[in-house]
């Protein structure tokens, strides 16, 4: 088996394991915070919001820094660093004695992780250009698949063995990823990758600043739109349902619809982007995603919402792989880690901003206004992509086909 295919296979497994571990935390946050001694409902909600959001903020700050070290010392070293630190931090969460220790560990989790960003950089730089869209689509299925299955696994462990055991199990999963990375991923760090460049030097190397900024903005807006609905979908489903029975199950199914759709089509859309150009897939995905948000404001039943969420998942499955492919094609490999660090920062800032602003808009103007906002935002982003990315990426596509 070719080296890049072997590394892709191992990276897929490790990203799946890391994602399934990390996604176990969100559903357990309020329960664990209460377990740590916070009993007031309002305080539990406040601490839960802080614990959820602080991780994204730290990830956004430190992603470019770890990207810099990935360019200097190699991507495998960053995979090992991130998975080992995650092992220590997540296991330590299972032994936290108060809310302050837990928040500190959440900050460290964001500051010292960055595994998926390093995996994307490794795969993007090692895969032949003609196959990079498909390879990044495969990595996307690992991330989404782990995110879907993680809460189920974590909920089962919390039910059967207790809340602390769930965090310890995440630490075990992260250690499995560390061992797999150490044993099976191979990388040769060239002399050019050891150069140390500051931000201004990296910025000068990027050939088209408007093009790259448009990719970062698209990453931000995509994650902003998706996360703006995370805090309110369950509330929306409650309003749509005539009965309060099985709300948790129905909400879980609606949440999962978009993820399952992404798993189904991400590799195919990645392969399509290799064939016709990632800029075309990216533009079409933004338009379909933007349009699919708006009718979600008019649904009358949960199953209608689930169907539209499935369509949304089909569209968003093509976005991140296309963005990462365009970064690969437009940025020299020896600064790829820094470039992907910037796009990852944009993604995490979008996740944080969306989760905060979506809830505020819902509270002030109603839940349906959030769907209008996100749909129009993505359609405006599609216009930006058409003017900035579409033509420039067409030149790149001709170069590599």
Query: Quick one: residue 123, left, alpha or beta (phi over 0 = left, psi -120 to 50 = alpha)?
Result: alpha
CA–CA separation, 363 and 370 (whole Å): 10
- Segment of 213-222, 227-236, 245-254 carrying the highest mean pLDDT: 213-222
Q: How much is the mean pLDDT over the chain?
A: 87
Determine the pLDDT at residue 195.
Answer: 55
- Nearest to residue 145, comparing CAs of 292, 258, 55, 227? 258
pLDDT at 334 over 90: no
User: Do residue 378 and residue 232 come from a single domain?
Assistant: yes
Instruction: Give the number of other Cβ atoms within 10 Å of residue 197's Cβ.
Output: 16
Q: How far apart are CA 90 and CA 108, in angstroms?
A: 10
pTM of structure? 0.83
Quote the pLDDT of residue 350: 92
On whether both 128 and 233 belong to a single domain, the answer is no
Residues 168 and 237 in one domain: no
Residues 237 and 130 grouped into a single domain: no
Looking at per-residue pLDDT, the higher value among 77 and 358 belongs to 77
- Residue 393 confidence (pLDDT) above 70: no
Q: Measured at the alpha carbon of residue 382, what is the angle toward residues 130 and 199, in degrees to the nearest 5?
A: 65
- Residue 7 in this model has a pLDDT that exceeds 50: yes
- Report d(CA 36, CA 312) in Å as an integer: 37
Looking at the structure, tell me whether residues 166 and 246 fall in a common domain.
no
Same-domain status, 235 and 377: yes
CATH number at residue 70: 1.20.1250.20
pLDDT at residue 223 greater than cutoff 50: yes
Inside any domain, residue 102: yes
Condensed to tens digits (0 to 9), the pLDDT of residues 61-91 reads 999 999 888 888 889 999 999 999 999 999 9
Least Cα distance to 270 among 117, 396, 114, 127 occurs for 127
pLDDT at residue number 72: 85
**Residue 195, domain member (yes or no):** no
pLDDT at 401: 47
Q: Does residue 197 lie in a domain region?
A: no
Picking from 184, 218, 245, the residue at the C-terminal end of a domain is 184
In a domain, 194, yes or no: no
- Of all residues in the chain, what percent carry a pLDDT higher than 90? 49
Same domain, residue pair 334 and 213: yes
Averaged pLDDT, 182-211: 77
Say yes or no to pLDDT of 383 above 50: yes
> Position of tokens 């979600």?
296
> 365 is written with which tokens?
């103007």
Phi (first) and psi of residue 162, to 5 degrees:
105, 160
Shared-domain flag, residues 221 and 370: yes
Query: Does the structure show a pLDDT above 70 at 248?
Result: no
pLDDT given for residue 191 in this prediction: 45
**Residue 394 pLDDT more than 60?**
no
User: Percent of the chain, pLDDT > 70?
Assistant: 93
Q: Is residue 202 part of a domain?
A: no
Question: Domain boundary at 184, 218, 243, which?
Answer: 184
Quote the number of domains for the chain.
2
More confident site: 333 or 283: 283
pLDDT of 5 over the 70 cut: yes
Any domain includes 193: no
Same domain, 179 and 212: no
- Cβ pair 357, 223 in contact under 8 A: no
Same domain, yes or no: 276 and 356? yes
Distances (CA, A) of 195 to 61, 72, 206, 330, 398: 22, 6, 16, 19, 30
Q: Is 189 exposed, middle or buried (0-12, 13-18, 19+ CB in 10 A)?
A: middle
Q: What is the pLDDT, as a whole number, of residue 363? A: 83
pLDDT-derived band of residue 244, with 50, 70 and 90 as boundaries?
Answer: low
* 192 inside domain: no
Do 114 and 232 have their domain in common? no
Is the CA virtual torsion 358, 363, 368, 372 positive or negative?
A: negative
pLDDT exceeds cutoff 50 at 400: no
Output b/e per residue, 158-177; b: 16+ Cβ within 10 A. beeeebbebbbbbbebbbbb
Residues 6+ apart with CB under 8 A from 355: 52, 53, 56, 227, 228, 230, 231
HEC string for 66-90: HHHHHHHHCHHHHHHHHHHHHHHHH
Q: What pLDDT sits at residue 192?
A: 47
How far does Cα 269 stand from its chain's mean position?
Answer: 18
pLDDT, one tens digit per residue, over 100-123 is: 999 999 999 999 998 998 999 999
- Please determine, for residue 42, whether its predicted confidence score (pLDDT) is greater than 70: yes
Residue 241 included in any domain: yes
Q: Please indicate, yes or no, whether residues 245 and 375 belong to a single structural domain of this protein.
A: yes
Residue 256: closest CA among 146, 170, 155: 146
Q: Which domain holds residue 329?
A: 207-401
pLDDT of 392: 61
Domain boundary among 151, 184, 217: 184
């Amino acid at each position: 088996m070719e080296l890049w295919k072997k590394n892709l296979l191992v990276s897929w497994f490790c990203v799946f394991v890391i994602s399934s571990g990390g996604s176990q935390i969100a559903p357990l946050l309020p329960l664990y915070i209460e377990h740590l001694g916070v009993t007031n409902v309002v305080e539990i909600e406040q601490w839960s919001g802080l614990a959820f959001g602080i991780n994204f903020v730290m990830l956004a700050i430190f992603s470019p820094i770890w990207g810099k070290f990935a360019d200097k010392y190699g991507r495998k070293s960053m995979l090992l660093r991130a998975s080992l630190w995650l092992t220590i931090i997540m296991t330590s969460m299972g032994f936290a004695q108060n809310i302050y220790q837990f928040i500190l560990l959440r900050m460290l989790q964001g500051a010292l992780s960055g595994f998926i960003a390093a995996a994307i950089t490794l795969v993007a730089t090692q895969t032949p250009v003609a196959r990079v869209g498909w390879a990044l689509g495969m990595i996307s299925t690992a991330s989404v698949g782990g995110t879907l299955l993680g809460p189920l696994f974590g909920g089962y462990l919390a039910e059967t063995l207790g809340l602390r055991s769930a965090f310890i199990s995440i630490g075990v999963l992260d250690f499995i990823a560390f061992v797999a990375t150490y044993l099976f991923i191979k990388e040769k760090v060239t002399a050019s990758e050891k150069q140390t460049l500051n931000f201004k030097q990296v910025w000068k190397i990027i050939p088209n600043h408007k093009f790259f900024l448009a990719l970062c903005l698209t990453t931000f807006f995509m994650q902003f739109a998706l996360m703006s609905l995370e805090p309110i979908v369950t509330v929306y489903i409650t309003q749509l349902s005539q009965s309060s029975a099985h709300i948790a199950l129905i909400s879980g199914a609606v949440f999962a619809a978009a993820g399952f759709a992404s798993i189904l089509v991400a590799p195919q859309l990645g392969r399509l982007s290799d064939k016709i150009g990632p800029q075309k897939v990216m533009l079409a995905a933004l338009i379909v995603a933007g349009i699919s948000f708006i009718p979600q404001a008019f649904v009358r039943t949960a199953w209608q919402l689930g169907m539209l969420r499935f369509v949304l998942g089909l569209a968003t499955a093509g976005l991140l792989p296309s963005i990462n492919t365009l970064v690969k094609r437009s940025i020299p490999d020896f600064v790829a880690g820094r470039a992907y660090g910037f796009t990852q920062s944009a993604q995490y800032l979008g996740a944080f901003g969306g989760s905060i602003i979506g809830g505020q808009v819902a509270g002030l103007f109603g839940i349906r206004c959030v769907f209008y906002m996100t749909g129009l935002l993505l359609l405006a982003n599609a216009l930006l992509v058409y003017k900035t990315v579409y033509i420039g990426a067409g030149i790149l596509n001709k170069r590599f086909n």
